[in-house]
């Protein structure tokens, strides 16, 4: 029997052991689903505190409860470690490490390189390696493959290498790791077959593509589609503001068309680890091929400018009452990058908070999910949302529309409101 078929049979019988490198908001939910499917899973992370917490049954990821973690630990199907030497014990390894941008907006693949080196140090015949971290097209073939074949083993014969982009949407109650279709592309056809077989038990729908480059581009297209259309909605908000028209009324009316229109909403800007960052991977790659990704660059410009647009709206609103931004008390509602999660990565609310403070405003915030955040070395803490706190503010600025915020209280007691999310709705 060929090695690929042996591994597929091992996956189908659940006799294989799975390793997951990176136990954050992507890796931990994947590890849980793999364990639920019957695999013995070893989770790897460089953070000892995270590992100790997981081994004690404490989840640090919002989408995974302590009960879910406890169930797979009680069944003996999950353990966490910082010991990368244990990668040799696994038959399949999923790499779910961060891929941030450098300060020059270039891809930072140092975490992928570090994970590749760790896998290389323990690579043996009969393993499948699957990269899930979002990155530019060519990363799997150009960075991971040479490192792993540097061991003397041959891809597609001795080991198998594939790319399968993560599609996690933190806080999404409907679509999670298991029921979100998963795209897989392999370096060779057998690489794709083996990787697909290993995920088949844990993921409802698998979509095979012909190459790792195609799989890498899938994720970039998905998020570029979003950044461009959000940019269009944000520009329409500026257009409507200049025309004195309610942008949300226009969008809701346009959304009644049953074909040819998909509703995207304007807001304070983009946040999170994916949408504001991922399209830059593609733009960077194309610059190296002497091509300018004009849609991506323009959408990025529009979205980046939205905090300034809303700051100007605060100034105009206060000016109507004979006040300046300087010295005014402004209460920001919500600092997470999107509703009903606690993640503040790349959140436009942080930019808004800083810009208001730079203009001399006395800024406070309320966020039921973010009790504290740090910015430029300073610590800021959430204040209780009370009628008194709302009445004391010269302006309330709604930046993140958490479902648990009492917006009726805001409506009843706020002197003025700048609502970047249409949380109060049209009156």
272-307 pLDDT per residue, tens = 767 677 788 888 889 999 999 999 889 989 999 999
Q: With residue 206 as reference, give the H or E element that holds it.
A: strand 206-209
How many domains are contained in the chain? 2
- The answer to whether residues 8 and 145 belong to one domain is yes
Domain assignment present for residue 215? The answer is no
pLDDT in tens, 394-410: 999 999 999 999 999 99
Whether residue 426 is contained in a domain is answered as no
Same-domain status, 319 and 203 = no
Residues 198 and 302 in one domain: no
Q: Flag whether 132 is in a domain.
A: yes
Is the model's pTM score more than 0.85? yes
Same structural domain for residues 183 and 263?
no
Judgement on whether residues 154 and 51 belong to the same structural domain of the protein? yes
Alpha-carbon torsion (235, 240, 241, 246), positive or negative: negative
10 within a domain of the structure (yes/no): yes
- Give a yes or no: residue 234 inside a domain: yes
Single out the catalytic residue among 96, 192, 274, 395. Answer: 274
Closest residue by Cα to residue 84 from 119, 47, 130: 119
> For 244-260, what is the mean pLDDT?
96
Q: List Cα–Cα distances, 358 to 174, 300, 325, 361, in angstroms.
A: 40, 23, 10, 7
- The reported pLDDT for the residue numbered 104 is 65
Single residue among 153, 186, 210 that ends a domain in this structure: 210
The pair of structure tokens assigned to 267 is 């807001």
Q: Does residue 241 sit in the same domain as residue 162?
A: no
Q: Is the pLDDT of residue 183 over 90?
A: yes
Q: Give yes or no: residues 188 and 318 share one domain.
A: no
Looking at the structure, tell me whether residues 281 and 160 fall in a common domain: no
Q: Do 233 and 147 have their domain in common? A: no
On whether residue 185 sits in a domain, the answer given is yes
Query: Within this chain, do residues 155 and 194 fall inside the same structural domain, yes or no?
Result: yes
Segment 79-107 shows an average pLDDT of 90
Reply yes or no on whether the pLDDT at 427 is more than 50.
no
What is the mean predicted confidence (pLDDT) over 81-100? 96
Domain that holds residue 353: 225-419
* Span 45-89, pLDDT tens digits: 999 999 999 999 999 998 999 999 999 999 999 999 999 999 999
Distance of CA 391 to the CA centre of its chain: 36
- Residue 71 parent element (H or E): helix 66-74
Q: Does the structure show a pLDDT above 90 at 137? A: yes
CATH number, residue 291: 3.40.50.720
Pairwise CA distance, residues 129 & 86, whole Å: 15
- pLDDT at position 106 over 60: yes
**pLDDT of amino acid 103:** 64
Q: Are residues 350 and 405 in the same domain?
A: yes
Q: Which residue has the tokens 């009644």?
A: 256
pLDDT in tens, 212-230: 999 999 999 999 999 999 9
The average confidence (pLDDT) of the chain is 94
pLDDT at 279: 82
Distance CA 33, CA 146 (A): 30
Report if residue 50 sits inside a domain: yes
- More reliable by pLDDT, 343 or 128: 128
In a domain, 186, yes or no: yes
Give the model confidence (pLDDT) of 352-372 as tens digits.
999 999 999 999 999 999 999
**pLDDT tier at 1, thresholds 50, 70, 90:** low
395 annotated active-site:
no
Q: Are 312 and 388 in the same domain? A: yes
Rounded to 5 degrees, φ, ψ at 188 are -125, 165
């Amino acid at each position: 029997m060929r090695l690929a078929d042996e591994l597929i049979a091992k996956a189908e019988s659940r006799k294989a052991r799975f390793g997951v490198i990176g136990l954050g908001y992507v890796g931990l939910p994947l590890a849980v689903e793999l364990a639920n499917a019957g695999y013995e899973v070893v989770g790897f992370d460089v953070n000892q505190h995270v590992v100790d917490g997981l081994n004690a049954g404490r989840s640090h990821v919002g989408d995974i409860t302590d009960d879910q973690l406890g169930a797979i630990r009680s069944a003996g199907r999950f353990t966490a470690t910082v010991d990368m030497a244990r990668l040799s014990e696994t038959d399949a390894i999923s790499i779910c490490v961060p891929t941030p941008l450098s300060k020059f907006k270039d891809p930072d693949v140092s975490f992928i390189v570090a994970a590749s080196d760790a896998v290389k140090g323990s690579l043996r015949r009969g393993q499948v390696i699957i990269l899930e971290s979002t990155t530019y097209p060519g990363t799997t073939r150009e960075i991971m493959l040479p490192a792993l074949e540097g061991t003397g083993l041959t891809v597609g014969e001795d080991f198998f290498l594939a790319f399968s982009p993560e599609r996690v949407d933190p806080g999404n109650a409907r679509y999670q790791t298991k029921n979100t279709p998963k795209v897989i592309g392999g370096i060779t056809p057998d690489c794709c077959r083996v990787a697909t077989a290993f995920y088949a038990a844990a993921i409802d729908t698998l979509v095979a593509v012909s190459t790792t480059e195609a799989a890498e581009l899938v994720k970039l297209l998905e998020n570029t589609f979003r950044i461009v259309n959000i940019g269009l909605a944000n520009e329409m908000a500026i257009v409507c503001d200049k025309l004195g028209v309610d942008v949300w009324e226009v969008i809701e009316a346009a959304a009644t068309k049953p074909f040819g229109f998909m509703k995207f909403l304007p807001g304070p800007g983009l946040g999170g680890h994916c949408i504001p960052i991922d399209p830059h991977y593609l733009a960077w790659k194309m610059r190296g091929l002497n091509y300018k990704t004009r849609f991506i660059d323009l959408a990025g410009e529009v979205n980046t400018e939205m905090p300034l647009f809303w700051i100007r709206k605060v100034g105009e609103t206060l000016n109507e009452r004979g006040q300046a931004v300087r010295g005014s008390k402004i209460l920001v509602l919500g600092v997470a990058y999107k509703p009903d999660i606690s993640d503040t990565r790349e959140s436009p609310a942080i930019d808004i908070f800083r810009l208001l403070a730079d203009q001399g405003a006395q800024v406070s915030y309320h966020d039921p999910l973010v009790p504290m955040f740090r910015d430029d070395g300073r610590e800021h803490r959430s204040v209780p949302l009370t009628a008194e706190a709302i009445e004391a503010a010269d302006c309330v600025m709604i930046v993140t529309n958490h479902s648990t915020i009492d917006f009726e209280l805001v409506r009843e007691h706020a002197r003025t409101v700048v609502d970047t999310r249409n949380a109060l709705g049209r009156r």
